Amino acid sequence: MACHWGGRAVVPARVVRNWDLEPRPVCQAALQQLRITAHRPIINLEKINPRLFSLVQELGLVKRLRTELIGMKKYLTVCRKATEDHVLWKHVDAPHLIDSLDMYSLQDLVDTNSGELPFKLHSLVEIFSNHIKVDCEICKGRAHICVICLCNEVVYPFDTTGHTCSNCNSVMHKVCYNRKNQCPKCLRIKSRMEEEQNNNQKENEEGTD
Ligand SMILES: [Zn+2]
Ligand SMILES: [Zn+2]
Ligand SMILES: [Zn+2]
């Protein structure tokens, strides 16, 4: 058999199953295939083995940073100044990292393990956040006032200290939300609806008298 030439490679199945990144002997054809596909975002880790995100600290960190970056991307794509300065794409060499949250290439996983990817994403967060929170008047103007405390300390939906209501999209500080445990806007809507219902009921009752 002329198949094995002593080539070694990280085996995707072992990585996603056990976070085993030890290079193993693979046959020439497999090695070729792995070289071709290593940079393609074809691994949906969230679907195949979501447990890994809590078991592997670096992987959890990468997920958190990607979540933040995707939230910031929403600001940058609608900002005229960011578009002019190419803030978004100038620094990103693997667009899939900020296009979706779930897809990984084998190389991403190898670089997560080595610490290279978390490092890279961290500097991206810094660049993006500098534009949005410091340099750009347009983006700064789109910061939110917390709907609970209404204080001067603005909050952005992508902030790890922020919370966005899943129902009405209101933005608030996470600490404020944790204290109140409900969204004031949703609460107002709910009580208004109840009031209307009560009024209707009353009218109906008066009508039957
Ligand atoms: Zn901007
Ligand atoms: Zn607040
Ligand atoms: Zn709400």
Confirm if 130 and 124 have CB atoms less than 8 A apart: no
In the chain, beta strands by DSSP E: 8-9, 24-25, 43-44, 103-104, 162-164, 171-173
CA of 152 to the centre of ligand 1 (A): 20
CA of 76 to the centre of ligand 3 (A): 25
Starting from the CA of residue 169, give the closest ligand. Answer: 3
Q: Which residue has the tokens 């500080």?
A: 173
From the CA of 73, how far away is ligand 1's center (Å)? 10
Strands 162-164 and 103-104: unpaired
Please list the pLDDT of the chain residue by residue as tens digits (209 residues): 455 566 899 999 999 999 999 999 998 888 999 999 999 999 999 999 999 999 999 999 999 999 999 999 999 999 999 999 999 888 888 899 999 999 999 999 999 999 999 999 999 999 999 999 999 999 999 999 999 999 999 999 999 999 999 999 999 999 999 999 999 999 999 999 999 999 888 888 876 55
